[in-house]
Amino acid sequence: TQLLEQSPQFLSIQEGENLTVYCNSSSVFSSLQWYRQEPGEGPVLLVTVVTGGEVKKLKRLTFQFGDARKDSSLHITAAQPGDTGLYLCAGRYNFNKFYFGSGTKLNVKP
């Protein structure tokens, strides 16, 4: 059972396009993290958002935490082939327990 629903599940776009990935839950999280995972490797943390309404930017990536701390979005501007990978959101529910979404598989074609 996944507390976090991610959409879309798959996304295939051309280099230079913009995209948004969504992470939704009916539960409130104390913080939410976004990871990127490549085949054969473990997830790598991109960002942690803590405050409702918080927006963080990491180069071409913009992360937003919903006001009610139940949802988040990841927006990528001018996607590049190097952005290809599995994007995962993870909500911190209890002090040290993290629930992951099922992921969005992004393919950026040159």
Stretch that binds another protein, among 12-20, 52-60, 70-78, 93-101 (CB under 8 A): 93-101
CB-nearer residue toward another protein: 6 or 72:
6
To another protein, the closest distance from the beta carbon of 100 in angstroms equals 3
Q: Which is nearer to another protein, 12 or 80 (CB)?
A: 12
In order, the DSSP letters of the chain are --S-EEE-SEEEEETT--EEEEEE-SS--SEEEEEEE-TTS--EEEEEE-STT-EEEETTEEEEE-TTSSEEEEEESS--GGG-EEEEEEEEEETTEEEE---EEEEEE-
Q: Which residues bind another protein (CB under 8 A)?
A: 2, 4, 6, 30-31, 40-45, 48, 50, 88, 90, 92, 94-103
